[in-house]
Amino acid sequence: MAKKQYAFYPGCSSQLRGSASNYLTSVNAMCDTLEVKMTPIPDWNCCGASIGYAGSGQLARHVMNARNFALAETHLPGQDVVATCAACWLGARETKEKLDASSQLLAETNEALKEAGLEYKQKTEVRHMVEVLIEDLGYAAMAKPVVKPLEGLKVAGYVGCQTNRPFGIAGESFENPLYLDKLVETLGAEPLTKYEQKVTCCGGALAFSEPEKSRVQIRQIVESAYDHRADLIVTPCPLCQANVEIYQSEINKKHGTKLDMPVTYYSQLMAVAYGKSAKAAGLDGHVIAPKKLQDIAVKVVPAKK
Amino acid sequence: MGAPGELNAALRARYANNFLREVETNVEEGEWVKMCMQCGVCAGSCPFGPHWEHSPQKIFMMIRAGRREEVLASDAMWMCTSCYNCVVRCPRKLPITQIMHGLATYAHRLGLAPKLQPTRQWSLLFWENCTRTGRVNELKLTLGLYFKDGFVAGLRKAWSLRGIGFGLLRAGRLNPFELFRGHECRDKAGIQRMLQKAYEIEARHLKLDKYKA
């Protein structure tokens, strides 16, 4: 029996063959080891992300998020809604706070939801996967199942924006959050605590509409990792992961650089440390292969105890 | 509702000479604008700082000064990457990101936003894409962006970025069949009905008959 269970909001990019499909693969592997049961909210929908504003306006955006809450309350009562994507978490949590604060907005949201036969009863709690790991399980519980300490792996912890601001993880600072470094250390790897670009914006959704401006950001994020002799960058955000990984080749083309820095998810590090295969950790889902992590993943460990 | 031009004229007349009031009433989080104390921390915290015409701080002062057309036609709001740096650093705790999004949306609805602003087009494309079936179709979204300036420009763009496309395809993170059918919600119809109702309610607040993005 699973120790803990949650209403899972995986988000669009995590879906099969989506741009962050290997995030979901590794989260599943990680949760399997940690005995955390993640049940997807039946028929969940997109949150609208932070870029849909010009089309959505205010109410439609909240209605989209509230639909997920209503579905979770109906089908998975009593379970916290847990998002793995930074934008899903941010959007959902913003909606929850707005609806909690305004009875008018709540009434209007429910007026719209009624058209889909749903009602939001304000019982939903919105959490990020990282909050579940840190607050509900704790570092000791995350360290316990480690069978392959990631020894010698130098990791630049890139927290990015939306897992960090405006809500962030309780008790962490906005300018220098430490949880990702602590998590890396828990797995036996070496966190590069002096990495300067920890909370720099990668351009977010504007990597598509303003590619040149965003690539200036991405280049800084990657070059600083090189300056600190990182083997790879690790991040909790699917858009950070995609932007920082896939545009390195374009930056190389344009500027003659030789950027080739792997960018992985925290959940992939955890899955590998827990002895999962490279495939189960989603390591086959990269444009820039995380070779050092792959080497650890294929290493055979002597059976424990 | 009439054309954006009529809407703009009606609203300008309704709030004659009081643009701050107009923003407070009609723009998401607009009631915060008057709280700005002009310290400039937002301006210094923005990752796209070198690129906009006006900093948030300037925009807020221009609103108070009644420079309506200049504010609504500015490209500044469209440069927001939603990084929330300004929000967490603002000493007065203004929700600057949301105000910028709100101003951008309002300018777009009134037809005053710069027509060719790429993030305006991208924002509309994204919302249209994700609400059609309830879930984002990443392939159509990307192609929609590439081909927004026409077929030839689209082909050129797709060709120049082919390395990224093939890289993602090999990594199992791009599905060519999404062109025909992507991920979608089962209750698409319910989602459409609920969104129509939401647009209708929001239009009521602007005292319009109907509004749809």
Give the residue extent of every domain in chain B: 4-114, 118-195
A65 close to A95: Cβ distance less than 8 angstroms: yes
Distance (Å, rounded) from C-alpha A193 to C-alpha A167?
A: 22
Predicted pLDDT of residue A168: 95
3-state secondary structure of A305: coil
Please list every residue in chain A whose beta carbon sits closer than 8 Å to the beta carbon of residue B96.
none
pLDDT of A11-69, one tens digit each?
Answer: 999 999 999 999 999 999 999 999 999 999 999 999 999 999 999 999 999 999 999 99
Closest CB from A60, A111, A213 relative to B51 = A213
Q: Hey, which residues 72-111 in chain B have their CB within 8 Å of chain A? A: 79, 81-85, 87-89, 95, 97, 101-102, 104-105, 108-109
- How many other C-beta atoms can be found within 10 angstroms of the C-beta atom of residue B41? 17
Alpha helices in A53-114 (DSSP H): 53-56, 59-75, 86-101, 103-113
Q: How far is A174 from chain B (nearest CA, A)?
A: 7
Q: How far is B109 from chain A (nearest CA, A)?
A: 8
pLDDT of A128-185, one tens digit each?
Answer: 999 999 999 999 999 999 999 999 999 999 999 999 999 999 999 999 999 999 999 9
CB contact under 8 A, A201 and B122: no
Contacting residues for A157 by C-beta, under 8 A, at least 6 apart: A180, A181, A183, A184, A191, A192, A195, A198, A234, A235
A259 close to A222: Cβ distance less than 8 angstroms: yes
Predicted pLDDT of residue B208: 55
* DSSP class per residue in A157-192: E---STTTSSS-STT--SSS--HHHHHHHHTT-EE-
ipTM of the modeled complex: 0.95
Q: Which fold has domain B4-114?
A: Fumarate Reductase Iron-sulfur Protein; Chain B, domain 2 (1.10.1060)
Predicted pLDDT of residue B192: 98
Q: How far is A57 from chain B (nearest CA, A)?
A: 6
pLDDT of A86-114, one tens digit each?
Answer: 999 999 999 999 999 999 999 999 999 99
Q: How far is B94 from chain A (nearest CA, A)?
A: 11
Domains defined for chain A, CATH in brackets: 4-130 (1.20.1050.140), 139-298 (3.40.50.11810)
Q: Which two tokens stand for residue A63?
A: 């209605």
pLDDT of B14-66, one tens digit each?
Answer: 998 899 999 999 999 999 999 999 999 999 999 999 899 999 999 999 999 99
Rounded to an integer, the average pLDDT of A116-123 is: 98
Please list every residue in chain B whose beta carbon sits closer than 8 Å to the beta carbon of residue A247.
164
CB contact under 8 A, A208 and B186: no
Closest CB from A45, A64, A206 relative to B119 = A206
Residues lower than pLDDT 50 in chain B: 1, 209-213
Please list every residue in chain B whose beta carbon sits closer than 8 Å to the beta carbon of residue A53.
101-102, 104-105, 123, 127
Q: A103-113 and A86-101 helices cross at what angle (nearest 10)?
A: 120
pTM exceeds 0.90: yes
Predicted pLDDT of residue B3: 73
Rounded to an integer, the average pLDDT of A275-289 is: 98
What separation in angstroms does the CA of A146 have from each of A33, A183, A184, B28? 10, 12, 12, 47
Mean pLDDT of chain A: 96
